[in-house]
């Protein structure tokens, strides 16, 4: 199954000057199409870090959405870092230039047109707000940090390139809520479940309330999850704790 990840780039996120709006939205967009988000990284405006991360995910062959840093100001490094990671030069993209000229006319020069300088051989991602395109290379999709631009661009990428993957993954998540038990009371049982079902992922989420309450479940291939949940419920019952399905 194709793995999806995201990079959220910018000092303003790490300093708290801006609040991230991308992580939850990407999860929503992927989930609506039956796809999971495998990982997410927040990266500062440090070219060496950006390039290193991009090289690694390109080498793994993952599908990656990168938010931010594709403007033309001196603190925007993502376009150059993407080119370095892909091992290609930066060049002015004629299609991107045409879009910027159509949007801004003479105002495209001398500075706005710098946002048409992309890694050689890249494809454009249309921007529905101001026509300043994003770009893609090596299954990495680079969009602005502005949510009103970035999120429709991500949807466009998914629907244009990855519709064949929608709702094809045999994957479910099931859980129970165990009352009168904290996580520590269930650790031995959880370890048993992992040994018995190594192909599944187990998760445990304590709830903060007056009663000791823990949500515990399994996720993975549907048939195995259903089988594992029967064993999990039986194990919790044997320990003497009440439970309900989530």
What pLDDT, in 10s, does the model give residues 100-152?
A: 999 999 999 999 999 999 999 999 999 999 999 999 999 999 999 999 999 99
Q: In Å, how far are 34, 89, 117, 169 from 221, measured between CA atoms? A: 13, 43, 44, 9
Residues paired with 229 in a beta bridge = none
CB 118 within 8 A of CB 91: yes
pLDDT at residue 207 in the model: 85
Two structure tokens written together for 89? 């030069």
Residue 16 and residue 68: Cα distance in Å, rounded? Answer: 15
Phi, psi values for residue 96, rounded to 5°: -65, -40
- Below-50 pLDDT ranges, the chain: none
pLDDT at residue 209 in the model: 72
Residue 150 and residue 156: Cα distance in Å, rounded? Answer: 10
What is the reported pTM?
A: 0.90
Report which secondary-structure segment, H or E, holds 96: helix 94-104
Domains in the chain (CATH in brackets) are 4-165 (3.40.980.10), 172-245 (3.30.70.600)
pLDDT at residue 176 in the model: 98
């Amino acid at each position: 199954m194709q793995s999806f990840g995201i990079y959220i780039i910018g000092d303003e996120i790490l300093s708290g000057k801006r609040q991230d709006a991308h992580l939850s939205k990407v999860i929503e967009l992927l989930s609506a199409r039956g796809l999971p988000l495998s990982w997410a990284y927040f990266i500062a405006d440090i070219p060496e870090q950006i390039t290193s991360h991009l090289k690694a995910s390109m080498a793994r062959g993952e599908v990656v959405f990168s938010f931010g840093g594709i403007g033309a100001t001196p603190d925007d490094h993502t376009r150059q870092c993407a080119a370095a990671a892909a091992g290609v030069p930066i060049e002015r993209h004629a299609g991107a230039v045409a879009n910027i000229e159509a949007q801004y006319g003479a105002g495209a020069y001398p500075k706005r047109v710098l946002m048409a300088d992309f890694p050689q051989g890249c494809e454009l991602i249309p921007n529905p707000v101001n026509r300043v395109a994003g770009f893609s290379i090596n299954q990495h999709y680079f969009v602005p940090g502005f949510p009103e631009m970035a999120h429709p661009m991500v949807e466009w990428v998914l629907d244009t390139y990855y519709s064949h993957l929608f709702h094809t993954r045999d994957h479910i998540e099931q859980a129970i809520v165990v009352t009168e038990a904290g996580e520590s009371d269930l650790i031995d049982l959880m370890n048993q479940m992992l040994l018995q079902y190594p192909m599944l992922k187990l998760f445990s989420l304590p709830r903060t309330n007056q009663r000791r309450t823990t949500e515990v479940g399994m996720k993975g291939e549907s048939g195995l999850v259903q089988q594992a949940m029967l064993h999990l419920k039986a194990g919790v019952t044997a320990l003497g704790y009440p439970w309900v399905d989530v």
